[in-house]
Structure 1
Amino acid sequence: MPPVARLALLLAGWLVACAPHRQPVPPPPARAAADVAQETKLDNGFLTVRVEVPPAPAGPKPVVVSPLGERDALRSAGAVVITYEANWQLLEPFKAGQPPPKNTVGVWLLASPTPKTIGKGFFNLIDYYANTAIPKVLDYVTTLPEVDPTRIGIAGSSTYGFIALQAVAADRRLAAAAAVLACGDYRTFLHYSNLAMNGQPLDLDEGYARWIDAQDPALHPERLVHAAVLMINGTADQAIPIRCVRNTGRVLRRAYARAGVPERFRLRILNGVAHVQNEETRHEVLAWWDRWLLRPSK
């Protein structure tokens, strides 16, 4: 069983132990004039946060958390770039004595010992990052004098795209998001993704089903309308089936229209594209940042 999947199974217990104790935000590190990047440890060293500040312009700047490989372009445009990493190896001492049950259904992070809990380890990871890690990153980032707290965006692809959508729903400090190769409508995703049930009947444990429904952006679209959200998906992506993408897009589009801000949501569907990023993806994401973070008043 892959180490990441084993750690995912431990995550729920770790969160119970740690959730009530939010650590004080450390003061911003002293930054020399020539510094380009700084690393900071949060949550007793479990989270590593890297801050890359462009030399210009002066004053508070827009921020993108976890960008999709466009660091140089963002810094050139005057944005602060934030990346983060969870140090999962620190959980090794908490592993149970007995090995976890063998996975029998699904693949990769969505694998599960039983169809009743297909994808549970995956959604535990999403839940931790979106509802615990990202808020702690934002607590720290908003203490930095270089940061404009009204212009913070988050980006992600695949797993991190799911994180971006849920993080926006969880924290109104995020003003924009770019979620690539991700979706809501979690039951449809688990039913048809080739990483989960791959079209076989979906019969989830009732408690687990209620839990993912409570997290699903497509079931709670009103939680996202404060932010400008871009989704990019491909019609040939078997991991993220196009039907759950379209369902998510339809629900979010209606929610943004009801809120009077239809221009703040965009679903870009790329014909024939599978679970990969391309130059068109990069162009769309950078254009979204330009519209909503870099020059939001234009």
Structure 2
Amino acid sequence: MTHFFSALGVEPLLKILQQSGDPTAMYTGPEFTIQFANNAILAIWGKDESVIGHRFENALPEIKGQPFADLLKQVWESKEIYEANEMPATLDIHGEPITSYFNFTFKPILNKEGDIYCILHTAKDVTELIRTRDAVLEKERKEEEIKKELRASNEGLRSNNQELYTLNKEYTVTNEKLGASNKIIQDLNLQIKKENNELLSGNRKFQDDITNLGDLNKNLASRNQELKDLNDTITQLNNKLSESDISFTNLIDQAPVAIMLLKGDDFVITMINDAMLALIEKDYSVIGKSLFEVLPELKGQPAAEMLIKTYRMGTPN
């Protein structure tokens, strides 16, 4: 090797390349004999200096079936440089096949007559760069999947909140009807009390007002029937209210999406279904606890701000 390159007058250059940290090799002849390989490229190959003087394919038998020998032949015949980025190469490193990625150049070196006398091979191992980039891309992909899941979950929550809002309106209307019925009962009780007082007063004149007493008894019977009818109405309203509560609970328990019901300024969890427990990876012990005590990581996130806005403004989001 020394004699070959001494004759070409490039021996000083080889000494520089030998000291370089950039992986470099030189091949001569159409058999691509390794005439030079610095320590950096030997480390990449997993070889020592004993490969120098051997044909490229014999020194690295594991590259058979890979494109490198054909590329060297292409450069030798065309006398045109070949450059590649992030190309995989599987090499036998300490008896184990290892695939790495390289940016490399096969550059033909020509003499004054324009004939090729060697190919200069320079390379850069970019394996870690690619793995880091792929890890970042995978992380971004997973983050995007999580964002999509959160958006779908938020959409489900908005839909469920709308249903809960409608149920609350019905619940409020039922309570208002119950309050109106109770007011009627109170008024009737006052009326009955008044009539009973009149009846007691009339008893002092029992003999004189026996006829009037009969009429009052008929009136009292009519009032009692009204009271009974109102009591029946109240019973029906209470049954409807009870059914509404059961339906509301069943709606949450059987809903196909994650739901929980929060109450008060501290957002205390009062109801939660299995789907939501699975989503937040908790159990029913969270009931009665503040949402931000159970999931402190929500603080400051858009979902938490949307929840607080919904509670304060009284409008679904």
The structure with the greater share of residues assigned to helix is: 2
Structure of greater relative contact order (alpha carbons < 8 Å, 6+ residues apart): 1
TM-score, L = length of structure 1: 0.20
Q: Normalized against structure 2, the TM-score is what?
A: 0.19
